[in-house]
Every structure is written in structure tokens, then in C-alpha cells.
Amino acid sequence: MASHHEAAIDGFPVMTDTKNHTAGGVGSPEGRLFRPASRAELAEAVELAFDYRGDVTVELTSGESVVGYLFNRDATGADPWIELFPADDPSSRRVGYAQIVSLAFTGEDTATGKSWETWVSKKESERRAEAARIEADARTRGHL
């Protein structure tokens, strides 16, 4: 069952979603479905989809569903739009906001759990391992 939150993020109302996430919650939108009730809600969902590193499914007013990677958008013009690389088509596709019924975050979020701290920790571990390897090699050669 869908849940509606009355809170706002950056001046936009938080949208109805089907996973009962809390407003402003930290983490990936993976698995969430948005059925925006206003242009402001749609703009918020599009921004989330633009920042998402997985495929989204866009349900259109025609009944068609387009699955793909959202790579471009323009929310500022008189006729705002999004652009996707559809999963089943090598060319991009532009879809007007007026055609969008819902946005679902259906693809795997390839960025989940990959924070800056994780990257720094990994790089530091790699540097320590490389230093140990160089030291062991130097000892083997009798330099240390």
C-alpha cells in the first residue's frame, strides 16, 4: 500500500512511494515507485532519477513503459523533458513531463554502498599492501 508524506524537501512535497520510506531518508531510491501528483513532485522524482546510477522505468500516459538510464533532463522550459538510453534501443529517447505517469527505480543502483569513506579506506589498504610488497622485495634482495 502506498504511503504519502506531508513533509517537504527543498521546498517540494515528498511524493507517494510504494516502499514506505521516510521523508529525506538516506540511501538509494532503488525499488521505489513515484506517482507524482504535481509538476513539482515530478521535477523532484526526475532529479532523483538523474542522480540514480541504475535503470528507471517510466510509465507513460499512453500505457507504454520505457526502461532505461536517464541521462539528461530540462525542467526549466515551457515543455520540460527527460532523455533516456532505453534498455532495448541503442538510440536515446526524449519524453515530455506531460507524458509521464510514474517513475520507478527498477535497475540495480550501482553506487549503493560506495561512499567516499569506502573509497579512501580501499585506497589506503592498497597503498599499505603495495608498501609491504616493496619492502619484502627489498629484503629479499638484501637492500634492507
Per-residue pLDDT for 114 more than 80? no
Q: How many CB atoms lie within 10 A of CB 29?
A: 22
d(CA 73, CA 61) in angstroms, rounded, equals 19
Answering whether pTM is above 0.75, one says: no
Mean pLDDT of 49-65: 95
> Closest Cα partner for 10 from 36, 40, 30?
40
Range with the poorest average pLDDT among 70-84, 91-105, 113-127: 113-127
Cell numbers placing 18: 510504494
pLDDT value, residue 89: 93
pLDDT value, residue 113: 66
pLDDT top residue among 114 and 86? 86
